[in-house]
Amino acid sequence: MTTLGEFLRQRRKELGLVGREVAAAVGKADGTPISTAYLVDLEHDHRKPSDSVLNQLATVLQVDADVLFFLEGRRKQLRLLQKELADRLRNQDGAALSASYLNYLEHVRGEPLDYLLEQIATILDLPVVALYFWVGRLPPDLVPTEYVETDRIAAAFNRFRVALRNERPRTSAEEIR
């Protein structure tokens, strides 16, 4: 799963911005801009930004703030303690999820199972497909159960890429590569 820092760096580069431009456009609580060194720390996951800085970064980087809050920790944005979220999540046997297992998942040391992703999406008020995207998996309804023509798969992913990244459509020859 992509970290907040990786996402910030990648998005900044996609927009052709240099660090000092982004830093100059984001203000601290006192109104002064954040430093380029602080932005570098954020992009390398050495520091955690405030909600205000995250909202400003979302504006500058032209992304939905929910994406950044999800990556930084939607749970924290909603002021849910890890134990509180774990208590609301249920294992398949109906027992509460342990806080230590949730910690394990939040630090990207494991992948949550589908039923947990669905519960997390509901509790954190996020679209479940966004969680599947961020963990790098297909939602269960898109996992093939029968043969699908490669041209259809390539065309679907091409449309997805265009919509997600606002890129130009790729030709069939480019898709084959």
SS3 for 32-78, per residue?
A: CECCHHHHHHHHCCCCCCCHHHHHHHHHHCCCCHHHHHHHHHHHHHC
Query: What's the pLDDT score for residue 176?
Result: 47
Query: What's the pLDDT score for residue 2?
Result: 62
Q: How far apart are CA 17 and CA 5, in angstroms?
A: 15
DSSP SS3 for 27: strand
Amino acid in the structure at residue 21: E
**Domains 4-74 and 80-139 in one fold:** yes
Say what the pTM is.
0.55
The closest of 58, 68, 76, 56 to 2, measured between CA atoms, is 68
Contact between 97 and 91 under an 8 Å Cβ cutoff? The reply is yes
Query: What's the pLDDT score for residue 123?
Result: 87
Which tokens belong to 96?
């509460």
Which tokens belong to 31?
């109104």
Q: Residue 102, class by beta-carbon neighbours within 10 Å (0-12 exposed, 13-18 middle, 19+ buried)? A: buried
Instruction: Identify any residues that bridge with 27 across adjacent strands, giving them in sequence order.
Output: 33
Domain at 4-74: CATH code: 1.10.260.40
CATH classification of 80-139 is 1.10.260, yes or no? yes
Query: What's the pLDDT score for residue 21?
Result: 95
Mean pLDDT by 10 residues, the chain (177 residues): 78 92 92 94 87 88 73 72 86 88 70 88 86 84 89 89 73 53
Query: What's the pLDDT score for residue 30?
Result: 87
Boundaries of every domain in the chain: 4-74, 80-139, 144-176
Which tokens belong to 39?
């932005």
